[in-house]
Amino acid sequence: MLQRESTGMTAFECTLCGRCCMHAGGELIEIEKRLTSRDYLCRQKIVGGTFRARVEERFLDAFRDTTTRDAHPAWCPFLRPLPGERGKYVCTIHETRPLVCRSYICCTMRIFAGDGREAGKVKGRRSLTTEDAALRRCWEESVVPLATDDDTAWKSDVAAVLERAGYRVEVYE
C-alpha cells in the first residue's frame, strides 16, 4: 500500500510481512460466494457491506494453492505466500481490496540504526516496538518525557531526538 500525503512525510510502503492480514484479515473479510474463476463476492465483517474482489492474474496460481489457507483458516482468505520469496506474503486481490485494507498502515514510524537495519517501529499512537536495548534506553530517556499532545509535532520532535542519537527515522501518515 502506498499513500502520498501533502504533509511531507514519507509514503508508507508495505514490507510484505503479512502480519496484518494474518492477525486481522480473517476478522475483516469473509468470502460469501465465488462469482467466476477470479471474482468473489465478499462481506466486510466489521464495517458491514459487501464488495467484489478480483484475484489478480499474476497471483492466480498462488491463490489456487490453498495449502497455507487450509493451515491458517483465521488469516485473510486472500493472503498467500509470495512465490519464490521466503517469509514474504502477498494480497492476491490488492487492486480490489476494500477500503479498510487500503487505509491500514501497520506502523506510524520506522526507526533504522546506523548500519541500516530496522531497529524499531512505532505502532498505534505512540508505542515503541523494539528489541534494540540502545533504542529502548534512548526512547525512555529522551522521547517519553516529550510533552506535546499534537501528534504531528510529537512525531517531528521524536524524529529530531532519534536522528541526533544516530538513528534514521521514516515517519508515515
- The residue segments making up the domain with residue 121 are 109-171
Domain co-membership, 68 together with 39? yes
| Residues 41, 49 contacting (CB under 8 angstroms) | no
Alpha carbons 87 and 123: distance in angstroms, whole number:
21
Backbone angles phi, psi at 38, to 5 degrees: -125, -15
Domain co-membership, 38 together with 95? yes
Note whether residue 125 is domain-resident: yes
Q: Quick one: pLDDT at residue 3?
A: 34
Q: What is the pLDDT of residues 130-140, one digit of tens each?
A: 999 999 999 99
Whole-structure pTM value: 0.64
Domain co-membership, 137 together with 121? yes
CA-wise closest residue to 21 among 80, 96, 71:
80
Q: Quick one: pLDDT at residue 11?
A: 60
From the number of C-beta atoms within 10 Å of its C-beta (0-12, 13-18, 19+), residue 55 rates as buried
> Secondary structure of 41-77 in the HEC alphabet?
EEEECCCCCEEEEECCHHHHHHHHCCHHHHHCCCCCC
Last residue of a domain, one of 42, 70, 102: 102
Domain co-membership, 91 together with 135? no
| Residues 169, 163 contacting (CB under 8 angstroms) | yes
Domain co-membership, 146 together with 163? yes
Note whether residue 153 is domain-resident: yes
Across 18-22, 32-36, 145-149, the highest mean pLDDT is recorded for 32-36
Alpha carbons 61 and 37: distance in angstroms, whole number:
11
Check pLDDT > 80 for residue 63.
yes
Domain co-membership, 48 together with 77? yes
Domain co-membership, 128 together with 89? no
Last residue of a domain, one of 102, 122, 157: 102
Mean pLDDT of the chain: 86
Check pLDDT > 50 for residue 6.
no
